[in-house]
Copies of this chain bind each other. A is one copy, B any other.
Amino acid sequence: MTPQTDEGALVDDIAARIRARIMDGELPIGKPLRQAALAAEFGVSRTPVREALRQLQNGGLIEMQPHRGAVVRVPAPWEVRQAYEVRAELEALAARRAAARITGGQLAELRRHNDVLRAAAEGSGTSGAGAPDTTRANDCFHTVVCQAADNPWLSRMIDRINESFPRNVSSLALAGDERHRQLNVRQHDAVVAALTDRDEDRAQETMREHVISAGEHLTAWYERRSQTVFHG
C-alpha cells in the first residue's frame, strides 16, 4: 500500500508507526493497544502488528502481559532518574568524543538549533501545544552531537533510551516551565562553547550536568503529574 521505499521490512514500518503514535502522545501512556484495531488501522493482518508490538516491548516502550494485551508503559519516576543517569553518562561520552571531531559546520548547526530554543524560551511563554519544533530542535541538538561523536554504537544506545519514554511527556514537562527552558539553553550554550574550544573534559562535564539536570526536572514532573495517563 504505502510505496515502501526499498525496505522489505513491513513489520519495522508498522513498529515505527506505532512508536510514532506513542511518541506524539496520540496513544497516551497506560492505554491498552488492541492488535485488531491497529491491524485495521494500518490495513494489514494481525501478524505483523503482533511482531511490531513485541519489538516495542523489547525496546521497553510498551508492556505485554500474556493474554491480557499490551499497554503503553507507564514509567515509574525513579526509573526516569535511573535512565537519565545512564543517558547522561552516554551523552557526556558523546560530547567528549565530539570535542575532538566536530566540524565547523556541525558547530554552526548546533548554534542554529539552540537559537530556535532560545527564541522559544524567551518569546512565547506558553506557545499552546507542546511546541513541536522546540522538541525537534532539542532532538536535533543532541543528534548532531552524537553524529559528531562518530560512534554508531553510542548513538544507538542513546536512541534506545530515548525511545523508551514517550517524547510528548518530556515536552510537556518543559512546556510549562520557562525557567527551566532558559536553563536548558544556557547549558546548551556551555556545551557548544566547550566543543568550540575542543575542551574534552569540559564538554563531557557540561553535557553530563545538562542531561542530569533535565532528568531531575523530568523526574520531578513525573512525580507530580499523572496526567497524560490513560484512564479508562
Residues in chain A within 8 A of chain B (CB atoms): 7-9, 11, 47, 50-51, 54-55, 58-59, 65-67, 79, 82-83, 85-86, 89-90, 93, 151-154, 157, 160-161
Contacts and interface: CB of A to CB of B under 8 A. Distances in A.
Contacts of A11: 54
Contacts of A65: 8
A57 to B, nearest CB: 9
Given A54-B54, A55-B55, A58-B58, A82 B154 contact: yes
B55 A85 contact: no
Contacts of A9: 66
Nearest to A8: B66
A82 B8 contact: no
Contacts of A154: 82, 85-86
Contacts of A47: 47
Contact of A55 (B50, B54, B161): B54
A89 B51 CA distance: 32
7 contacts: A8-B66, A8-B67, A54-B54, A79-B153, A85-B151, A89-B90, A90-B90
Contacts of A151: 82, 85-86
A47 B50 CA distance: 11
A26 B63 CA distance: 32
A160 B59 CA distance: 11
Residue among A9, A59, A86 with the highest chain B CB neighbour number at 10 A: A86
Contacts of A59: 58
Contact of A83 (B51, B82, B90, B153): B153
A9 to B, nearest CB: 6
